[in-house]
Amino acid sequence: MNASSVAGKSPLCALEKSGQSPWLDFVRRGYTRDGSMAALIEHDGVTGVTSNPAIFQKAMGEGTDYDAQFRDILAHEIVSAGALYERLAITDIREVAKLLRPVFDRTNMTDGYVSLEVSPYLARDTEGTIEEAGRLWSAVAEPNLMIKIPGTKEGLPAIERKIADGVNINVTLLFSLERYKAVVEAWLSGLEKRHAEGKPVTGVASVASFFVSRVDGKVDAEIDRRVKAGDAEAEALKALRGKVAIANAKMAYQHWLDVMKSPRWTKLKDAGAQPQRLLWASTGTKDKAYSDVLYVEELIGPETVNTIPPATLDAFRDHGKVRESLLENVDAARKVMAEVVRLKIDLPAITARLEDEGVVSFEEAFDGLLGSVAKKQAAFLGNKLAETKLSLPAEFDAAVKDGLETWRKDGTIRKLWARDASVWTGTTEANWLKWLDIVDDRLEHLSELEAFQNEVKARGFSQVLLLGMGGSSLGPEVLAMTFGKHEGFGHLYVLDSTDPQQVRTFEGKIDPKETLFIVSSKSGSTLEPNIMLSYFFDVAKKAIGENAGHHFVAVTDPGSALEARAKKDGFWKVFHGVKQIGGRYSVLSNFGMVPAAASGVPLRLFLEDALRGVRACDASVPPAVNPGVLLGTVFGVGATKFGRDKITIIATKQVMDFGAWAEQLVAESTGKQGKGLIPIDDETLAGPAHYGTDRLFVYFRLATEHSHEQDEAVRTLIDAGQPVVTINLHERRQIAQEFFRWEIATAVSGAFLHINPFDQPDVEASKIATKKLTAAYNETDALPAETPFAVDGDLAFFADAKNAGAVKGANAEAILKAHFDRVKAGDYVGLLAYIERDRASIEWIQHLRLAIRDAKTVATAAEFGPRFLHSTGQAYKGGPDTGVFLQITADDAHDLPVPGERYSFGVVKAAQARGDFDVLAERGRRALRVHIKGDLKAGLARLSTLIRAAL
Ligand X SMILES: O=C[C@H](O)COP(=O)(O)O
- Minimum distance from residue 90 beta carbon to ligand I22 (Å): 17
C-beta of residue 473 within 8 angstroms of C-beta of residue 497: no
- Minimum distance from residue 912 beta carbon to ligand X (Å): 12
C-beta of residue 450 within 8 angstroms of C-beta of residue 593: no
Q: 854: how many CB neighbours lie within 10 A of its CB?
A: 15
Which of ligand X, ligand I22, none has residue 880 at its interface (CB below 5 to 8 Å by kind)? none
User: Phi/psi at 407 (nearest 5 deg)?
Assistant: -60, -40
CA dihedral for 751, 755, 756, 762, sign (positive or negative): negative
Q: Which of 148, 646, 672, 909 is catalytic?
A: 148
**385, 469, 649, 932: which one binds ligand X (CB under 6 A):** 469
When asked if residue 633 is in the footprint of ligand X (CB under 6 A), the reply is: no
277 forms beta bridges with: 207
When asked if residue 676 is in the footprint of ligand X (CB under 6 A), the reply is: no
When asked if residue 502 is in the footprint of ligand I22 (CB under 6 A), the reply is: no
Q: With CB under 6 A as the contact rule, which of the stretches 129-137, 224-232, 467-475, 852-860 interacts with ligand X? A: 467-475
Residues in 99-158 that interact with ligand I22 by CB under 6 A:
115, 148
- Minimum distance from residue 245 beta carbon to ligand I22 (Å): 10
Q: With CB under 6 A as the contact rule, which of the stretches 190-198, 464-472, 709-717, 856-864 interacts with ligand X? A: 464-472
User: Phi/psi at 692 (nearest 5 deg)?
Assistant: -90, -165
When asked if residue 590 is in the footprint of ligand X (CB under 6 A), the reply is: no
Q: With CB under 6 A as the contact rule, which of the stretches 69-77, 124-132, 466-474, 851-859 interacts with ligand X? A: 466-474
H/E run at residue 308: strand 304-308
**20, 47, 119, 307: which one binds ligand I22 (CB under 6 A):** 307
- Specify the residue, 164 or 171, whose C-beta has the smaller distance to ligand I22: 171
DSSP 8-state secondary structure symbol assigned to residue 647: E
- Torsion angle, alpha carbons of 666, 669, 671, 674, to 10: -150
- Minimum distance from residue 146 beta carbon to ligand I22 (Å): 8
- Specify the residue, 209 or 391, whose C-beta has the smaller distance to ligand I22: 209
Q: With CB under 6 A as the contact rule, which of the stretches 470-478, 545-553, 636-644, 780-788 interacts with ligand X? A: 470-478
- Minimum distance from residue 870 beta carbon to ligand X (Å): 4
Cα-based angle 545, 548, 551 (whole degrees, multiple of 5): 145
When asked if residue 25 is in the footprint of ligand I22 (CB under 6 A), the reply is: yes
Which of ligand I22, ligand X, none has residue 291 at its interface (CB below 5 to 8 Å by kind)? none
Which amino acid would we find at residue 741?
Answer: R
Closest by CA to 831, choosing from 803, 859, 811, 856, is 859
CA distance 529 to 97: 62
When asked if residue 284 is in the footprint of ligand I22 (CB under 6 A), the reply is: yes
Give CA separation, 596 vs 474, 591, 603, 759, in Å. Answer: 12, 9, 7, 26
b/e burial code for range 869-893 (CB count within 10 A of at least 16 → b)? bbbbbbbbbbbbebbbbbbbbbebe
Which of ligand I22, ligand X, none has residue 521 at its interface (CB below 5 to 8 Å by kind)? ligand X
Which of ligand X, ligand I22, none has residue 522 at its interface (CB below 5 to 8 Å by kind)? ligand X
**214, 317, 376, 929: which one binds ligand I22 (CB under 6 A):** 214
Which of ligand I22, ligand X, none has residue 50 at its interface (CB below 5 to 8 Å by kind)? ligand I22
- Specify the residue, 505 or 523, whose C-beta has the smaller distance to ligand X: 523
DSSP 8-state secondary structure symbol assigned to residue 897: B
When asked if residue 529 is in the footprint of ligand X (CB under 6 A), the reply is: yes
- Minimum distance from residue 312 beta carbon to ligand I22 (Å): 9
SS in 3 state form for 178-236? HHHHHHHHHHHHHHHHHHHCCCCCCCCCEEEEEECHHHHHHHHHHHHHHHHCCCCCHHH
Which of ligand I22, ligand X, none has residue 282 at its interface (CB below 5 to 8 Å by kind)? ligand I22
- Minimum distance from residue 664 beta carbon to ligand X (Å): 7
C-beta of residue 778 within 8 angstroms of C-beta of residue 903: yes
CA distance 99 to 112: 9
C-beta of residue 624 within 8 angstroms of C-beta of residue 748: no
556 forms beta bridges with: 576
**371, 583, 627, 757: which one binds ligand X (CB under 6 A):** 583
**10, 20, 21, 52: which one binds ligand I22 (CB under 6 A):** 52
Catalytic, 542? Answer no
Residues in 162-201 that interact with ligand I22 by CB under 6 A:
170, 172
- Minimum distance from residue 767 beta carbon to ligand X (Å): 8
Q: With CB under 6 A as the contact rule, which of the stretches 1-9, 206-214, 512-520, 775-783 interacts with ligand I22? A: 206-214
**10, 57, 282, 560: which one binds ligand I22 (CB under 6 A):** 282
**317, 584, 644, 741: which one binds ligand X (CB under 6 A):** 584
HSE of 139, CA atoms in CB hemisphere, 13 A: 18
CA distance 251 to 90: 35
- Residue 452's SS3 state is helix
**20, 209, 766, 860: which one binds ligand I22 (CB under 6 A):** 209
When asked if residue 4 is in the footprint of ligand I22 (CB under 6 A), the reply is: no
Residues in 391-450 that interact with ligand I22 by CB under 6 A:
none
CA distance 676 to 829: 16
Alpha helices in 781-861 (DSSP H): 801-806, 812-821, 839-856
Which amino acid would we find at residue 914?
Answer: R
- Minimum distance from residue 879 beta carbon to ligand X (Å): 16
C-beta of residue 24 within 8 angstroms of C-beta of residue 46: yes
- Minimum distance from residue 357 beta carbon to ligand I22 (Å): 10
When asked if residue 279 is in the footprint of ligand I22 (CB under 6 A), the reply is: yes
CA distance 473 to 518: 10
- Minimum distance from residue 469 beta carbon to ligand X (Å): 4
Which of ligand I22, ligand X, none has residue 584 at its interface (CB below 5 to 8 Å by kind)? ligand X
- Specify the residue, 295 or 661, whose C-beta has the smaller distance to ligand X: 661
CA distance 626 to 630: 6
When asked if residue 472 is in the footprint of ligand X (CB under 6 A), the reply is: yes
- Specify the residue, 96 or 614, whose C-beta has the smaller distance to ligand I22: 96
When asked if residue 96 is in the footprint of ligand I22 (CB under 6 A), the reply is: no
Cα-based angle 79, 85, 90 (whole degrees, multiple of 5): 110
**522, 837, 849, 931: which one binds ligand X (CB under 6 A):** 522
HSE of 877, CA atoms in CB hemisphere, 13 A: 25
Provide the binding-site residues for ligand X, judged by CB under 6 A: 469-472, 521-523, 526, 529, 583-584, 870
**Residues classed as catalytic:** 148
Provide the binding-site residues for ligand I22, judged by CB under 6 A: 25, 50, 52, 115, 148, 170, 172, 209, 213-214, 279, 281-282, 284, 307
